[in-house]
Structure 1
């Protein structure tokens, strides 16, 4: 085999030979087929365009110039006008005249060979254009894959942005763990109004109003920053739902939106830890001349819960006597006191040290309430704060 005949042909390389002379078709087939090319033949420009429109695209078109009907120049122009075939390499088979070569290039031909053609030259040009066509096909395929990948990426980014938006909204009132759980589950039905038994914790600072009146605004903001940071960490650790905080007041509840059978236990243990945390902060505040105490009220009962607000600004709220009761107990509490109802006390698991204050009349509550002060609980229970 000659050197030109041993050159590697890309697998499946196809050549469409277009000539109205059957002898020329047979000759080109005899040159190309033994070298590994798949040869397809068309006897006219019209037939060539039909094959290109209906069948798989070849890697190269060998196009004779002089043909009846559509000649080679017209056929080449039609190939270039069709978006499907505009990048298929075309080799014009011309006479030796320079004017025909110029016309071939103007018609859109990529190369040309002259009659009578040299087999080695023809094969070299065809192989070169097949490689170029394969490079082009690779680039097109990669561009399509990149476009598809970008589309999928954009969809994922949009989904993640939406998820982050939902997570951000939920984190306004849920612990990070619970908010993530809700987002991953994709269920926001809990935002609709519903009724459930909850344990409510209301906290505030004793002596805050007179402190805020005489302190500089920067001092007030610094105290609130420390206070909110300490209590917020505990709310998240115990997986409570933060209903709201306003100034020194904070309302947290348990057993909604995620049910927890140990809601009273979590509430009391969280409150006791909050008291300890605020006592540590109060040491520093006293050195600055600020006398601030900490009071907590905890109640258990049914409430209506759900999203309240307007477009662009929503909160997750609990409405019912139980929240008022917790607020009244908090208002009654002195510095360092955690006041709870009998029902809450009964729900605390493990040892609890408490003091009974007896039936108490509370503002806005029509019945007497059995109130207890929680002095201490057994905090050596790591599962209480998952």
Structure 2
């Protein structure tokens, strides 16, 4: 039986052990005999015991010594021990001092023996239940700690993703658990590169706090629009900023999104520039937009990774940005025609750009098609 009580009976007289077995076994108890203190301790190390009936007077290791050894072992420290003695009150006191929970006088009364065994067996079961619940609680705490640690890792992962992805994309990634996009891959993207005109002389002539104040205002405006248009922010480089579309998740209208975002950036930063001008800062903005294939994925080293695009399309966007005048949004022919009629602009001709062997046809994008005359 799974819930059967096991009693270790310890006595150097075999007839006493047989008597205990004859009394206890018919009541469902399992009696394990031991004819010496040494054998009793060996049985305790080998078997699961619920209660010990221990004779005091035995050759070699007496009952007091056995009881003290039981109490010294953490595994059996709370095991119920009933001393069996034929001696008087002084011997009973010594048994209690040795750590016994109860005692029975010889010759024992069967009813008393069964009552005391039943009472202590219940206490042992209660103690086992408490230990089992404590172990379950420990396991639950461990599982909870593991879950909290996993959630912290998820939060850290989300924090890393939010450095270069829009909130909408981060939500998709977290929901799906998908991180394959971090692996190196090739895809056609639209790249937006922008920076501030006049920033270098401004930074040279201004206090660091003034420069940081302007950059904070500038980045706040641009960051809001990047998230709104669901672009992927690759990097900030002082006043320079690079965003791309169509990766890590494809979008059907990448050219249109890129140009609409660029025009919104131009307009919002122009509002900032009015305030800067009143403070004596002569700053404006230029934007370059290009489309082409790039290799994308995670770059860096353990503990510090970025998600980057590598290819001539990023250089083209940067060169177009460099060629743009104040408040101009210059786009390659491919981007401009792909976004029509959602945007308006004029061709400014073929430009010779550093690093490109052939002239590049360029369009000055001035407005969205929403304002086209009907």
TM over 0.5: yes
Distance in 2 (CA, whole Å) between partners of 1:12 and 1:296 is: 80
Match of 1:146 among 137, 148, 164: 137
Alignment of 1:71-110 (within 5 A): 72-73=63-64, 76=67, 79-80=70-71, 84-105=75-96, 107-110=98-101
Match of 1:228 among 214, 219, 222: 219
1:246 aligned onto 2:258: no
State whether residues 224 and 247 of structure 1, in contact with CA within 8 Å, keep that contact through their aligned partners in structure 2: yes
The 1:24–1:125 alpha-carbon spacing in structure 2 relative to 1, beyond 3 Å, is closer
Match of 1:263 among 249, 254, 260: 254
Residue-by-residue CA offset, 1:280-339 (whole Å, 9 max, x unaligned): 222322332323222211000112223333444433322222111111211222222211
Distance in 2 (CA, whole Å) between partners of 1:17 and 1:219 is: 85
The 1:70–1:313 alpha-carbon spacing in structure 2 relative to 1, beyond 3 Å, is closer
State whether residues 201 and 252 of structure 1, in contact with CA within 8 Å, keep that contact through their aligned partners in structure 2: yes
The root-mean-square deviation of aligned C-alpha atoms, in Å, is 3.4
Alignment of 1:170-209 (within 5 A): 170-182=161-173, 185-209=176-200
Match of 2:202 among 207, 211, 234: 211
Residue-by-residue CA offset, 1:186-213 (whole Å, 9 max, x unaligned): 5544444432211100011122223223
Aligned counterpart, 1:325: 316
SS of the residue aligned with 1:347?
helix
Match of 1:40 among 21, 30, 36: 30
Q: Runs of 5+ in structure 1 lacking a partner?
A: 1-10, 381-386
Residue-by-residue CA offset, 1:119-174 (whole Å, 9 max, x unaligned): 77656644553443233223311221122123223322333333333333333322
Distance in 1 (CA, whole Å) between partners of 2:218 and 2:370 is: 21
Alignment of 1:123-142 (within 5 A): 125-126=116-117, 128-142=119-133
Match of 2:283 among 274, 292, 300: 292
Residue-by-residue CA offset, 1:72-120 (whole Å, 9 max, x unaligned): 5566466556655443211112224234324434554222122345677
The 1:69–1:23 alpha-carbon spacing in structure 2 relative to 1, beyond 3 Å, is farther
1:39 deviation in Å?
Answer: 2.2
Distance in 1 (CA, whole Å) between partners of 2:310 and 2:94 is: 86
Distance in 1 (CA, whole Å) between partners of 2:198 and 2:363 is: 22
The 1:239–1:29 alpha-carbon spacing in structure 2 relative to 1, beyond 3 Å, is same
Q: Runs of 5+ in structure 2 lacking a partner?
A: none
Aligned counterpart, 1:8: none
The 1:168–1:216 alpha-carbon spacing in structure 2 relative to 1, beyond 3 Å, is same
Distance in 2 (CA, whole Å) between partners of 1:327 and 1:308 is: 20
SS of the residue aligned with 1:304?
strand
TM-score scaled by structure 1?
Answer: 0.79
Distance in 2 (CA, whole Å) between partners of 1:97 and 1:27 is: 24
1:282 aligned onto 2:279: no
TM-score scaled by structure 2?
Answer: 0.82
SS of the residue aligned with 1:174?
coil
Aligned counterpart, 2:105: 114
Distance in 1 (CA, whole Å) between partners of 2:329 and 2:195 is: 11
State whether residues 295 and 338 of structure 1, in contact with CA within 8 Å, keep that contact through their aligned partners in structure 2: yes
Distance in 2 (CA, whole Å) between partners of 1:106 and 1:45 is: 23
